[in-house]
Structure 1
Amino acid sequence: MLILLSPAKTLDFESPSKVKTSTNPEFIKDSVEIAGLMKQQTPASLRDLMGISESLAELNHARFQDWMAPHPKEGSKQAIFAFQGDVYQGLQAEKLTAKQLDVAQEQLRTLSGLYGILRPLDRILPYRLEMGTPLPNSHGKDLYAFWRDRVTDSVAKQMQVNGSRFLLNLASNEYFRCVDAKALPAPVVAPAFKELKNGKYKIISFFAKKARGTMAAWVIRNRVKTTTKLTQFAEDDYTYHPDLSTEKVPVFVRG
């Protein structure tokens, strides 16, 4: 199986990594082009381009000015330990064993506006660049144009290597738009996580994001390979709801 996640805006480059082993991002040479375009931005233009506050624009301007490839070990960190947002609170990478990290390295991928696609142990530098950013580049008007073919090809090849019966899409819609699902060798399954509120099941962003990470970790720990096994997911009080589900969108509820 291959699992896709979104990256996180919240980062941790202060805490030491659990492991010393690291790898280089597959598309680091392409990242150089994107980083070069970002280096040309002023804090004011970054604020407008990315829709962020003045303080975040200043921070990310400094980050891109310092960005270099290849990445120095000092100041860089493996992606799975650097990302600290809601999804990664659910993933709890620090609790994965060495063998489980090996499985994750083969089965887990994070989509990225700067790096295209990342394996868990790929070293990254601090950055913020969402996939939906309308940054004109050599391939078109935005990052989707730049990354779609590269990322789709990478995903398809890894699915074939893994013998994946389906792609487990736990990424957001914004990020999954950089993948051409029709070009993949197997179907895409995108679970939904819902909470019972006022008598109705609803998706609540924070809980859904955390559940995506929790499911990713559960799949890795249990070597899940089939959709039948996937429906047995029951972490954090979630249960599979067959009446709300379809083949490609299994629904898990709680409450």
Structure 2
Amino acid sequence: MQILIACAKLMDAKGVPALKFATKPTFEREALHNAAQLSQYSVDELQQMLKVNRAIAVENHLRYQNFIVESTRRPAGMIYDGMVFKKLDLASFTDGELLYANDHLNICSFLYGLLRPLDSINPYRLEGNVELPDNGGVTMTDYWQPILTDYLIAKVK
């Protein structure tokens, strides 16, 4: 069984510990490339692209500037701050339950493509309608669709 959930727009890594058995995102190479592209945009450009206020644009500009810093990475399932993640409460899971969830729970992400709960990531903000130049001028949704379709089909089999 595979479960697929959407990520949340809000992320908060404060107080979330790094875990001894963290995993690397499956599509980390693509995420790093996407983040590198996003790091080239100014605060004003990010504000317009993401349709956010200036404070959120500034925060995410800094996030993309420091995206490669590994010491700030935390488990994806614990830094998303949406209702599903609050109800899921992965911090209360035993080690065995976390490892099981990591094999069966998939989190959709416009930056990382697909994440597992224990994948170490840096906080970010990205919308599905954003088009990045190196991605063929398609939206992030269209960029990820063929990649994730084939991956998920193989994972379910």
TM-score in terms of structure 1 length: 0.58
Q: Give SS of 1:154's match.
A: helix
Q: Secondary structure at the match of 1:20?
A: coil
Cα distance per residue 1:99-144 (max 9 Å; x no partner): 2112111110001011000011110011111223344443332112
Tell me the residue number matched to 2:25.
25
Q: Does 1:131 align with 2:116?
A: no
Does residue 103 (structure 1) correspond to residue 103 (structure 2)? The answer is no
Checking the alignment, whether the CA contact within 8 Å between 1:44 and 1:57 is kept in structure 2 is yes
Which consecutive unaligned segments of at least 5 residues does structure 2 have? none
Amino acid at match of 2:123: P
The answer to whether the 8 A contact 2:18-2:74 is kept is no
Aligned to 2:13: 13
Could you tell me how far apart the structure 2 residues matched to 1:18 and 1:47 are? 30
The CA distance in 1 between the partners of 2:53 and 2:12, in whole Å, is 20
Contact 1:139/1:145, CA 8 A, preserved across alignment:
no
The answer for the alignment partner of 1:4 in structure 2 is 4
Partners of 1:112 and 1:130 within 8 A in 2: no
Higher alpha-carbon Rg: 1
Distance 1:45 1:16 in 2: 30
Contact 2:131 2:137 in 1 (8 A): no
Greater RCO (Cα-Cα under 8 Å, separation 6 or more): 2
CA gap of 1:40–1:18, structure 2 versus 1, over 3 A, is: closer
Partners of 2:81 and 2:141 lie apart in 1 by: 24
Alignment deviations for residues 174-196 of structure 1 (CA, whole Å, 9 cap, x no partner):
xxxxxxxxxxxxxxxxxxxxxxx
1-side partners of 2:93 and 2:116: how far apart?
15
Alignment deviations for residues 30-70 of structure 1 (CA, whole Å, 9 cap, x no partner): 112211210111110111111000111111111101111xx
Q: 1:119 aligns with which of 113, 116, 119?
A: 116
- Structure 2 counterpart of 1:87, from 84, 87, 93: 84
CA distance in 1, matches of 2:138, 2:28: 21
TM-score (norm 2): 0.92
Q: CA RMSD in A?
A: 1.6
The alpha-carbon distance between structure 1 residues 11 and 138, as it changes in their structure 2 partners (threshold 3 A), is: closer
- Asked if the contact 2:18/2:75 (under 8 Å) is kept, the reply is no
Q: CA deviation at 1:146?
A: 1.6
In structure 2, the partner of 1:202 is none
2:146 maps to 149
Contact 2:4-2:108 at 8 Å conserved across structures: yes
Secondary structure of the 1:102 match is helix
Following superposition, which runs of at least 4 residues in structure 1 exceed 4 angstroms of deviation? none
Evaluate the alpha carbon distance shift between residue 20 and residue 12 of structure 1 in structure 2; reply closer, same or farther with a 3 A threshold: farther
For the residues of structure 1 that align with 2:16 and 2:142, how far apart are their CA atoms? 35
Contact 1:17 1:81 in 2 (8 A): no
User: Greater helix share, 1 or 2?
Assistant: 2
